[in-house]
Structure 1
């Protein structure tokens, strides 16, 4: 009888020992399977959320890290805006797909009506107020990134960007409120009011009129109202935050960078004339750079690549950083599951090795007979390995199913307890990507809803690989015991 058939017969005839080994591997396999399921699910959440956030990045002052230094008067002079040559050098990075840098402005109009969201008023957005966003990228980055969609008209032409012509792109809401269409002329009247006039009221201090031609009308696509969860205690706060973002985006007017710079200079001259003692130094042109990376996976590499180019107190901020801020629950679970896998593997190695070794001691006469009859030690060792793989294979496949269910139950329990712990800080629940990265937001609920423990090819392959390798390594100690067997002493 060859050693393969002996292994099959040994497993079926010695049912008690086979069941004991099966039970040990099954229990430990459930722990490993559950931990791997949780770990892979948290990694999948991170990948999918970061992919959803996209590979956008900007360079801005790192206020959090250098807050103490920024408060010192001597350091304030060092905080100069990014130079255009630095912005362009960063844009030459091999990780950048395309980029733009935006001038910004603000007007308070007396004639134009601003848009509001839904049935609410302007949600803290003053009536007649508009945010101006410049562009040096003819196709308009927000259009390319599907933040807004051009429904009528077009974006800029490159010659219009270069010359700074008076073309404007407005939202459909603003167009409807003011009865405007593509091709119409619109006057951006920026009105400044004095605090109190001689009669004790608020009077007009000065007004700047900038005529523009509407070349395009857009509809926002990035900000969508989400249905409130019945269990969401912060639903009203989330709704208010989303409406504020929507209102700001609806009241954004896209212009060329050069036009906004000219408008800001004219505004400075008016302020200087109105407040000669307060306004003395003209501010430098300030641009917000936005870099669209070739892949969201390139964020870390991009940060390292451009780090030597950054001025003091500046840092790269990416849209994917939102996950780093709010995905703490997933990271904790991933760390815990990683530790559980390590501990379970070590425990499995020790326990299976000792159990099989004890069984080998009981079978030393059987093994001695095989060797004394001239059977090779490699065949005896092969018989033991086959026995272990037959039993462990069945146990691992069954624990693959039950371990996945166990991982789902445990992770749901951990997530629920963590959400209860973080529910007290209502205002910490939502983070916004401000400045050049737009107005998209990520909530704790978004991260939780993306989490799902399920069967996947990666989970099955990873678990079976870890399980079978662990069992194989566990066989080392019993195989060493076989090598040390002396058939003559056993049979005497």
Structure 2
């Protein structure tokens, strides 16, 4: 009788013992399969999250580094005690040629070029904001960071007196407010890539209403230094849900900071409207790149540096905080699933070995008879291995159906807990352009994505679709064989010391 036949016979005759082994193997296979399935599902969810959220990298002048350098220079100079002698740095423009070169990277799925400045108008009036009684005309209240990089005292005065913010973009759909739904076109059309060399503008509904503007209306805008006057045509009217106001107690109100007084145009037109502060057609304030995967941020930065980005003057500011917050719960679930597999595998080997050793002692007489009949100890081990393997195959087959349900329940419970922990008090500041990350590629025909600054509360991933894959089953089968093999191998320690004569003579 072969060891396989004896194994089948033993399984049939010893039903109670084998039911116990089946339960143990069934629990092991279900937990291990759940761990593998959750890990696979977590990876897939992370991949989908990356594709959905993307990542934003902003190429712009590093003002913080420049200010630190200025501060160090002032402190080491003979005027270190005279703060009025400190010279504030002025923003350096980004080279349009370099920005376009970087945009050709294989990691970029969209991009946007931005220029901003403040203007007045010869013909329309701004939407007026109310001011507080404490408002002062003092220059001390002038903002230190102006659109278009204007930071000197003269430009601060221009900013205070300016009525409108002129934001130049490559494509208006790529602006953060339009992308996030805070603004939408209500009449006319959006600005497209084809409008780069045109004098087309988008105006807000309130501004249009107050000045009787409609699509096709002509508007004269004047640079803040009054050196440039250009006539623009309204091609679209938009509505904004932005209720932010520049009104603060003790500070002078600036009409240009009102969301109703924001006018969109092409980035080239905005550069021209900077007047004497214009750096020319080959300059922009910043370039925003929307990557196809947050994991490519480092590779993209390395590639951009090779294309001419000066690290001493400019920065590549990656904004993947939202992705990190969004992905944190499922990364934690993946980590837990790894631990589940390791703990269950180790515990399974220990428990299964102890149970097999216990049952082996009950079969001492059977072992003695087989050994006395000339059966080798190796074949005895193969018999015990085949018995466990047959039971394991049955448990494995049933776990294919039950494991998916168990894995889904475990994943939902773990993910709900992790999501609650992550959401508690976590609001991600989006430092710099790219508040909501890049689009999924379908929004802007290969260009665009949001830009601007925002503080957005990111929705973490709180659902995960767990499905048992062929790869999971293959890994389970392999690990199951290893567990059974190790359990049988450890059991062999007791079998190998058996001698047929001692076994048969010691029987009661």
TM-score range, shorter chain: 0.5 to 0.7
Match of 2:174 in 1: 142
Q: Secondary structure at the match of 1:475?
A: helix
1:365-396 deviations in Å (ceiling 9; x for gaps): 54676685779949634444223332454457
Match of 1:195 in 2: none
Match of 2:199 in 1: 166
**Is 1:131 aligned to 2:131, yes or no?**
no
Match of 1:183 in 2: 216
Q: Give 1:363 deviation, angstroms.
A: 4.0
Q: 1:68 & 1:373 partners in 2: Cα distance?
A: 87
Q: 1:407 & 1:47 partners in 2: Cα distance?
A: 17
Q: Give 1:472 deviation, angstroms.
A: 0.9
- Cα distance change, pair 104–341 in 1 and its aligned pair in 2 (3 A): farther
1:87 alignment partner, one of 71, 75, 99: 99
1:174-197 deviations in Å (ceiling 9; x for gaps): 4345332222101335679xxxxx
Q: 1:490 & 1:456 partners in 2: Cα distance?
A: 51
User: For the Cα contact (< 8 Å) 2:54–2:323, is it kept in 1?
Assistant: no
Match of 1:232 in 2: none
The equivalences for 1:303-342 within 5 A come to 303-309=301-307, 310-312=309-311, 314-318=314-318, 320-325=320-325, 327-342=327-342
Match of 1:120 in 2: none
Q: 2:206 & 2:110 partners in 1: Cα distance?
A: 29
Q: Give 1:465 deviation, angstroms.
A: 4.0
Match of 1:103 in 2: 115
Match of 2:232 in 1: 212
User: For the Cα contact (< 8 Å) 1:22–1:391, is it kept in 2?
Assistant: yes
Q: 2:36 & 2:62 partners in 1: Cα distance?
A: 37
1:27-54 deviations in Å (ceiling 9; x for gaps): 4556545655655565455434433323
User: For the Cα contact (< 8 Å) 1:349–1:470, is it kept in 2?
Assistant: no
Q: Give 1:263 deviation, angstroms.
A: 1.8
User: For the Cα contact (< 8 Å) 2:30–2:406, is it kept in 1?
Assistant: yes
Q: Secondary structure at the match of 2:409?
A: helix
Q: Give 1:78 deviation, angstroms.
A: 11
User: For the Cα contact (< 8 Å) 2:392–2:480, is it kept in 1?
Assistant: yes
The runs of 5 or more residues in structure 1 that have no matched partner are 117-125, 193-205, 226-246, 270-280
Match of 1:228 in 2: none
User: For the Cα contact (< 8 Å) 1:189–1:210, is it kept in 2?
Assistant: yes
Match of 1:260 in 2: 270
Q: Give 1:288 deviation, angstroms.
A: 0.9
Q: Give 1:446 deviation, angstroms.
A: 1.2
User: For the Cα contact (< 8 Å) 2:201–2:233, is it kept in 1?
Assistant: yes
Q: Give 1:127 deviation, angstroms.
A: 12
Q: 1:367 & 1:344 partners in 2: Cα distance?
A: 31
Q: 2:410 & 2:346 partners in 1: Cα distance?
A: 20
- Cα distance change, pair 57–408 in 1 and its aligned pair in 2 (3 A): same
The equivalences for 1:1-400 within 5 A come to 7-28=7-28, 31-32=31-32, 35=35, 39=39, 42-60=42-60, 72-73=72-73, 80-97=92-109, 99-107=111-119, 111-114=124-127, 130-135=164-169, 137=170, 142=174, 147=179, 152-153=188-189, 155=191, 158=194, 161=196, 164-172=197-205, 174-188=207-221, 210-218=230-238, 251-266=261-276, 268=277, 286-293=284-291, 298-309=296-307, 310-312=309-311, 314-318=314-318, 320-325=320-325, 327-360=327-360, 362-363=362-363, 366=366, 372=373, 377=379, 380=383, 381-394=385-398, 397-400=401-404
Q: Secondary structure at the match of 1:455?
A: coil
Q: 1:438 & 1:306 partners in 2: Cα distance?
A: 19
User: For the Cα contact (< 8 Å) 1:57–1:292, is it kept in 2?
Assistant: yes
For these two proteins, the number of residue pairs brought into alignment is 420
1:182-224 deviations in Å (ceiling 9; x for gaps): 22101335679xxxxxxxxxxxxx797543112334567xx89
- Cα distance change, pair 388–457 in 1 and its aligned pair in 2 (3 A): closer
2:478 alignment partner, one of 469, 486, 490: 469
User: For the Cα contact (< 8 Å) 2:317–2:432, is it kept in 1?
Assistant: no
Q: Indicate the RMSD between aligned Cα atoms, in angstroms.
A: 5.0
Taking structure 2 as the reference length, the TM-score comes to 0.63
Structure ID, larger Rg: 2
Q: 2:101 & 2:321 partners in 1: Cα distance?
A: 23
Q: 2:191 & 2:303 partners in 1: Cα distance?
A: 32
2:467 alignment partner, one of 456, 465, 479: 456
Q: Secondary structure at the match of 1:456?
A: coil
Taking structure 1 as the reference length, the TM-score comes to 0.65
Q: 2:410 & 2:63 partners in 1: Cα distance?
A: 43
Q: Secondary structure at the match of 1:72?
A: helix
The equivalences for 1:367-446 within 5 A come to 372=373, 377=379, 380=383, 381-394=385-398, 397-417=401-421, 419=423, 422-423=424-425, 428-432=426-430, 434-435=432-433, 437-438=450-451, 446=459
Q: 2:390 & 2:462 partners in 1: Cα distance?
A: 39
Q: Give 1:289 deviation, angstroms.
A: 0.7
Q: 2:265 & 2:36 partners in 1: Cα distance?
A: 51
Q: 1:7 & 1:131 partners in 2: Cα distance?
A: 84
